[in-house]
Amino acid sequence: MARYLLPCPNCNEAFPVATRHAGQTLQCIHCQSTVEIPKLGELRRLPTEGEPEVNRRGRTTRGQSPNRMKGWLFSGGLVIAVLFGAAGFALLNYANSLYHNVADYTNQVEQVSGEVIDAMKPSELWDWWGQVSQVELGEWQENARVGSNIQSAILAKVAYALFAIAGIGLISLLSSFAVGKK
Residue-averaged pLDDT of the chain? 79
The closest alpha carbon to 16, from 40, 41, 42, 43, belongs to 43
Taking the whole predicted model, whether its pTM rises above 0.85 is answered as: no
Cα–Cα distance measured from residue 152 to residue 131, given in angstroms and rounded to the nearest whole number: 25
DSSP state, residue 21: G
List % helix, strand, coil for the chain (3-state, nearest 5).
55, 10, 35
Spatial contact of 26 and 10, defined as CB atoms under 8 Å apart: no
User: How far is CA 129 from each of CA 108, 110, 133, 134, 136, rounded to the nearest angstrom?
Assistant: 12, 13, 6, 9, 11
73-92 pLDDT, tens digit per residue, is 899 999 999 999 999 999 99
Planar angle of CA 174, 178, 182, nearest 5 degrees: 175
Which of 36-50, 68-82, 126-140, 144-158 has the weakest average pLDDT? Answer: 126-140
Q: What is the mean pLDDT of residues 147-154?
A: 82
Total Cβ atoms within 10 A of residue 122: 7
